[in-house]
Amino acid sequence: MKALNNYAILALEDGTVFEGRAFGAQGEKTGEVVFNTSMTGYQEILTDPSYKGQIVTMTYPLIGNYGINDEDFESTKPWVEGFVVKEYSKIVSNWRSTSSLGDFLKKYNILGIEGIDTRALTRHIREKGSMKGIISTKKQDIKKIIQKAKNAPGLENKDLAKEVSCHKAYEWNKKGKHKVVVIDCGVKYNILNELAKNNCHVVVVPSKTTAKQILEYKPDGLMLSNGPGDPAGVQTVVETVRTLLDKMPIFGICLGHQMLGLALGGKTFKLKFGHHGGNHPVKDLKTNKVDITVQNHNFCVDIETLNKQDIEITHMNLNDRTLEGMRHKKLPVFSVQFHPESSPGPHDSSYLFENFVKLIETKT
């Protein structure tokens, strides 16, 4: 290997190798390598629990120029396994900044690698699909590093939600006309903020919470949160949702949408390279309006497995025609695959929180 200061390597399980420079922590981390097309919002991306188990590549070439601040966290800490950029900006310029990106990654023991061709990496993933990879700053034989990537555990059938969920229930806010319980499978703070802004008293509960325990809160509505990994790996939550389907209005986002799909009898599958970024076009099939949406998921509900007598398809992805939204025809239950809380990203879909509250008001 090259004897350079801060030398680092990104190796994929298929043997593809990228050499670059380390920033952030030193060491070695494995994960599934994905790419995100957002131009800004790297702090929100890093702290999104949905990225647990993944090494994130930013397609925008310059990352880190506005640093890290104390306000834009989407959870208590960053969750990514590694961070890949074309160029890391050591110069930080923003009035809210309290830390550089490199120092932030180092603080939380997350490896970053810069100086690689992120366009080539992104094209490779698009052509071959998401795959396991490893970032390493250790001096060792490249063949051994590639083998470690091959041997790394994948995301399929793994319950990552329990690893990012809160350990005990808590109130996000004290006031609100409508009590909403949020099952935390990796919830983003801005989902909770949007509910609070819409006059909801938000109670967050761990993913292991049973249907009986949720009903004891006497909620007006239930939110199924986003989260990491394979929805088939969180069967306990799916069973909880299935029990509560006819008990109250339910709104699912991202992983919550997928869990709802499973609870309604559908099946999920893994996308070739997932949807990650802030520029995904989604069509509302009722209004024919197209929203530009924020997305972060590797799995999807299979449209063909849903019972069309009970379920209406409401939203469609215009890039690959995959399912982006659905609602139950008889029950006050709906979900979307994208992120209407939009952090970072456009605010086109924030109206969905209002729709959820309207459902609650018609049932109370």
> In CATH terms, are 7-151 and 161-363 the same topology?
no
Asked whether the beta carbons of 197 and 236 are under 8 A apart, the reply is no
Please tell me which residue in 254, 257, 297, 328 is annotated as part of the active site.
254
* pLDDT tens string 319-363: 999 999 999 999 999 999 999 997 667 788 889 999 999 999 997
Longest Cα–Cα distance in the chain: 68
Can you list the pairs that 238-247 forms with residues at least 24 positions away whose Cβ atoms lie under 8 Å?
Answer: 238/262, 238/263, 239/263, 240/183, 240/209, 240/210, 240/211, 240/214, 241/183, 243/211, 244/211, 244/214, 244/215, 245/328, 245/331, 245/333, 246/331, 247/211, 247/215
pLDDT 10s digits, 148-197:
999 998 888 889 999 999 999 999 999 999 999 999 999 999 999 999 99
The string of DSSP letters for 130-157 reads: -EEEEEE-S---HHHHHHHHHHS--STT
Q: What is the pLDDT of residue 87?
A: 98
Give the C-alpha separation, 305 to 307, whole Å: 7
Q: What superfamily does domain 161-363 belong to in CATH?
A: Class I glutamine amidotransferase (GATase) domain (3.40.50.880)
| CATH 3.40.50.1100 at 7-151, yes or no | no
pLDDT higher than 70, residue 122: yes
Q: Are the C-beta atoms of 12 and 133 separated by less than 8 Å?
A: yes
Q: Which of 257, 276, 315, 339 is an active site residue?
A: 339
pTM given for the model: 0.94
Identify whether 201 is a catalytic site residue: no
- Say whether 185 is catalytic: no
pLDDT at 1 over 70: no
What is the domain partition of the chain in residue ranges?
Answer: 7-151, 161-363
Q: Note if 171 is an active site residue.
A: no
Provide mean pLDDT across the span 232-245: 96
